[in-house]
Amino acid sequence: MNFVAALNDVAAKNLLTLEEQIRQAIGEDPFIFQACEPLFKGGKRLRPMLFLLCANSKSNFPPEKSMPLAVTLELIHTASLVHDDIIDTSKKRRGVETTNSKYGAQIAVLVGDYLFAKAFQLVAENDYGAEVSTTLSKLVKNLCVGEIMQDRSLYEVPTLSEYYTRINLKTAIFLSTCCKLGAIVSDMDRREVENLTAYGSSLGLAFQIIDDLLDFFGDEKITGKPRGGDLKSGVITLPVLRALEVSNEAAKLREIVTSGQDVDAAIKIIQATDAVDYCRTRAEAHIESARVNLPLTLKPSVARALEQVADFIVDRTR
């Protein structure tokens, strides 16, 4: 399913404006534009679109006011990907060469920093208020904490609780922040803000579980990333934890994933288990939790779109 199609035109009509304003935001310097532009080709725009949906969930929030914050969210997301690719020494992202592969780690660090700085410049220029600024600052802090936690535990088998803490910091808090910010700017009451925040959090947990699943079972031509990339980087995710629990070759798998050797053999062991069904069942449970938290006060068109986004998360192939 195509993500934009899943929105049923509720927020998709804003996509062209979003893309144009992203290009404007990174267009101040020709080299920076050249370095950044490939990063924005592809991608689902899930985060800004969630924000735009929630910002229009009760009344129509002016697009000239909402769009800079939508761009901010995509810039923060992309900046985090640039830094992730440096840490993981990734060569490909969204089917194209990563910034660090093309220009080196030093330039890539600065490109990521530039995107963060530009994002907060947009927030400052549009005067969204203290709560929005504080929420965004906490988001970036949590992204960093999640990345540090992951980097400090490479090639170590986490507990299920540790895995969930990590994906909450790296992914779920981001999606919940997008929904929370939309609810805030649309002037929803505190209970509605909390419900949409919970919706986004559950959505984020499901999104990351499916992402971790696609790392082993996805089509490389569709995902744009080599299979087993997380394992090669020493990141041990839910499909591995499930295989370690049920596989007859668990001892061999543990030796492989904690050493980073013979990743192809590890992938075969994982693929021979019920990891797909197990992970999908967990993801679907989070999606159901997301649906339960959708406020009844939403405009029907927005409620349908947010339901469709939830369906997209578990059905996606990239």
Spatial separation of the C-alpha atoms in residues 254 and 39, rounded to whole Å: 35
Residue 267 CA: distances (Å) to CA of 110, 159, 221, 284: 35, 20, 18, 23
Please report the domains of the chain, with CATH numbers, ordered by start residue. Answer: 3-315 (1.10.600.10)
What are the backbone dihedrals phi and psi of residue 17, each rounded to the nearest 5 degrees, phi first? -65, -40
**Average pLDDT value for residue range 248-272:** 92
Helix (H) or strand (E) holding 54: helix 46-55
Query: Which tens digit of pLDDT belongs to each residue from 100-115?
Result: 999 999 999 999 999 9
Q: What is the mean pLDDT of residues 226-233?
A: 81
Per-residue model confidence (pLDDT) at position 1: 43
- Structure tokens that stand for 196 in this block: 């949409």
pLDDT at 8 over 70: no
pLDDT, mean of residues 232-258: 95
Counting Cβ atoms within 10 Å, is residue 280 exposed (0-12), middle (13-18) or buried (19+)? middle
Burial bucket for residue 96 (CB in 10 Å: 0-12, 13-18, 19+): middle
Say how far apart CA 154 and CA 169 lie, in whole Å.
16
